Amino acid sequence: MPPHLPSSPRLHALVPCAGAGTRAGAGVAKQYVELAGRPLVAHTLAALIEVRRLDTILVVVAPDDDAAAIASGDGRDPRLHVARCGGSTRAASVRAGLAELARRGAATIDWVLVHDAARCLVRASWIDALIDACRDDPVGGLLAIPAADTLKREAHGRVEATLSRERVWQAQTPQMFRLGTLVEALDRAGADVTDEASAIEAAGAAPKLVPGSPENLKVTHPGDFALAAALLGARRA
């Protein structure tokens, strides 16, 4: 094996954090809204830092992001880095983050765990479960939960059809794939793909579904902040 390649694949976390979060209605990017005394993204990063198997935790922010110092935390963990290379879409930010990881020495065979900054309730144990389930998998996979609610398709503000929820899962993050594979899949899928698993699927592979938790919600709408704060408070209690 060439000397510049690791003897075994390493693990890197990539946190796209360049979005404006307009649906949250908070006046500032939702990842920087204070939640339980800390910026939302700080809770996300605290969980990732607990996962000792991660070699790198890279937060991708917008080039003009004045809050990058918040995202980088207090600097106590040398694995945590901020890259000002975020794009206008999630896929663009992830793609730029992958290039930055490669620039920092990550190999194409390394695993990358992409995690939403706004999933601030993730637990280190769930991330470890994803790693355990996917590290020897030929494709990789993602945390997800089976759909529990009845699903409706909308047209002009009214129900057009009721959809079967049989074998339907709700995708969460982290989503874990090899760096080289993910780069190729994203380049092929384009900037509008909404998650990494979709790009991998479009490339003809089938990501593994790893059971997550309903608690791993993505803070998106104004009411989600109160729910996330209540869950964080319950954990502390």
| Model pLDDT, residue 84 | 93
| Model pLDDT, residue 20 | 67
105: in domain: yes
At 125-177, the pLDDT tens digits run 999 999 999 999 999 999 999 999 999 999 999 999 999 999 999 999 999 99
2 pLDDT higher than 50:
no
At 12-67, the pLDDT tens digits run 999 999 976 544 445 678 899 999 888 999 999 999 999 999 999 999 999 998 76
212: in domain: no
In the structure, what pLDDT confidence band is assigned to residue 225 with cuts at 50, 70 and 90?
very high
Q: Report the chain's mean pLDDT, rounded to a whole number.
A: 91
120 pLDDT higher than 70:
yes
| Model pLDDT, residue 22 | 47
Q: How many domains does the chain have?
A: 1
CATH of the domain at 127: 3.90.550.10
162: in domain: no
| Model pLDDT, residue 29 | 83
210: in domain: no
Distance of CA 223 to the CA centre of its chain: 21
Burial status of residue 8 (CB atoms within 10 A of its CB: 0-12, 13-18, 19 or more): exposed
| Model pLDDT, residue 76 | 75
| Model pLDDT, residue 66 | 76
4: in domain: no
pTM, 2 dp? 0.91
7 pLDDT higher than 80:
no
Of 83-87, 97-101, 104-108, where does mean pLDDT reach its minimum? 83-87
Q: Which helix (H) or strand (E) holds 142?
A: strand 140-146
Domain that holds residue 85: 11-140+173-205+218-236
Burial status of residue 22 (CB atoms within 10 A of its CB: 0-12, 13-18, 19 or more): exposed
51: in domain: yes
| Model pLDDT, residue 27 | 60
CB count, 10 Å around CB of 104?
A: 13
165: in domain: no
- 3 state SS of 62: coil
| Model pLDDT, residue 28 | 76
| Model pLDDT, residue 89 | 93
| Model pLDDT, residue 24 | 44
**Number of residues that this document lists for the chain:** 237
Percent of the chain at pLDDT > 90 equals 78
| Model pLDDT, residue 25 | 47
48: in domain: yes
